[in-house]
Amino acid sequence: MTSHSASLFTIAVGSSDPIYRQLIEQTRRLVAAGVLAPGDVLPSVRDVALALAVNPMTVSKAYNMLETEAVLSRARGIGMLVAERPAQAHSQRDRESLLRPTLQRAAAEARQLELDPDAVLALFKKILKEEP
């Protein structure tokens, strides 16, 4: 069981996505990527709220929604934990569904810029091969 700090999360101030939704999506991605493993302890609502300078109710809302989705579970005296889930819970389809909104935004921007779809795909393949 690993405890994580509030620096795990970031928010995009200019984003049209509400802050609680940003926290939910980041948590889902971290779990799907294996950065957050079952049993890991998330930072407290208060710590995240202070680190991000947001209302604690915003963080609480995100955590509660993730608990409802069975991504997180509450442990009395410990806090919020990454829920124990079967290995197949993060299937290829689950991970693709997390990526889809990002690709939809990129596709919309490519259309606005009137870029050739083949050129966009070639650029995406090049970016995928680059080291982070």
User: How confident is the model over 37-46, as a mean pLDDT?
Assistant: 94
Q: For the chain, how many helices (H) and strands (E)?
A: 5, 2
The pTM of this model reads 0.69
- Is pLDDT of 25 > 60? yes
pLDDT of residue 15: 86
| Residue-range domains of the chain with CATH | 6-85 (1.10.10.10), 91-129 (no CATH)
Residue 62: count other Cβ atoms within 10 Å of its Cβ. Answer: 25
pLDDT of residue 132: 64
Amino acid, single-letter form, for residue 119: A
59-115 residue pLDDT tens: 999 999 999 988 999 999 999 999 987 444 556 777 777 788 888 888 989 999 899
Average pLDDT, the chain: 88
